[in-house]
Amino acid sequence: MKVRHVSLLIALAACSAPSFALNGKLVPNQGILTSVGQDVDSVNDYASAMGVTPAGVTNYVGIVSLDGLNSDADAGAGRNNVVALANQYPTSALIVGVSMNGQIAAVANGTYNANIDTLLNTLGQLDRPVYLRWAYEVDGPWNGHNPEDLKRSFRYVHQRILDLGHADAISLIWQVASYCPTPGGQLSQWWPGADVVDWVGLSYFAPQDCNWDRVNEAAQWARTHNKPVFINESTPQRYQTSDLTYSADPAKGTNRVNKSQQQIWNEWFAPYFQFMTDNQDIVKGFTYINADWDSQWRWAAPYNEGYWGDSRVQVQPQIKANWQNELAKTKYINHSEQLFAQLGYDASGDPTDPPTNPPTNPPVTPPNPTPCDEEFSYRYISDNTIEVFHKDKGWSANWNYVCLSDYCLPGVRENGEFTKQFSATLGQEYGITFKVEDNQGQQIIDKTITFENKSCAAN
pLDDT digits (tens, 9 = 90+) for 31-62: 999 999 999 999 999 999 999 999 999 999 99
What are the angstrom distances between the C-alpha of 446 and each of 17, 219, 249, 408, 459?
17, 28, 52, 12, 22
Residue type, position 346, single letter: D
For residue 309, tell me if it sits in a domain. yes
Q: Cα torsion for 144, 148, 150, 156, to the nearest 10°? A: -150
For residue 271, tell me if it sits in a domain. yes
For residue 363, tell me if it sits in a domain. no
- List the CATH number of the domain containing 422: 2.60.40.2450
pTM of the model: 0.74
CB 311 within 8 A of CB 293: yes
Residues 337 and 384 in one domain: no
Residues 112 and 199 in one domain: yes
DSSP 313: G
Residues 300 and 403 in one domain: no
Residues 125 and 237 in one domain: yes
pLDDT in tens, 366-410: 344 455 678 999 999 888 789 899 999 998 887 777 888 766 677
Residues 420 and 285 in one domain: no
Alpha carbon 371 to its chain centroid, in Å, reads 33
Residues 197 and 301 in one domain: yes
> Which residue intervals of 265-349 are DSSP H helices?
270-278, 317-327, 339-342
Q: Report the phi/psi class of residue 454: left, alpha or beta, with left for phi > 0 and alpha for psi in -120 to 50.
A: beta
At residue 162, φ and ψ (nearest 5 deg) are -70, -50
Residues 50 and 148 in one domain: yes
pLDDT in tens, 278-335: 999 999 999 999 999 999 999 999 999 999 999 999 999 999 999 999 999 999 999 9
Q: CA 234, CA 287: separation in Å to the nearest integer?
A: 6
Residues 324 and 407 in one domain: no
Q: Can you give the residue range of the structural domain that contains 103?
A: 32-343
Residues 296 and 408 in one domain: no
CB count in 10 Å sphere of residue 320:
17
For residue 277, tell me if it sits in a domain. yes
**Which active-site residues does the annotation give?**
137, 233
- List the CATH number of the domain containing 114: 3.20.20.80
Predicted confidence (pLDDT) at residue 436 exceeds the cutoff of 70 = yes
For residue 308, tell me if it sits in a domain. yes
Q: What is the pLDDT at residue 457?
A: 59
For residue 9, tell me if it sits in a domain. no
Buried b (16+ CB within 10 A) or exposed e, 40-72: bebbbbbbeebeebbbbbbbbbbbeebbbbbee
Number of structural domains the chain divides into: 2
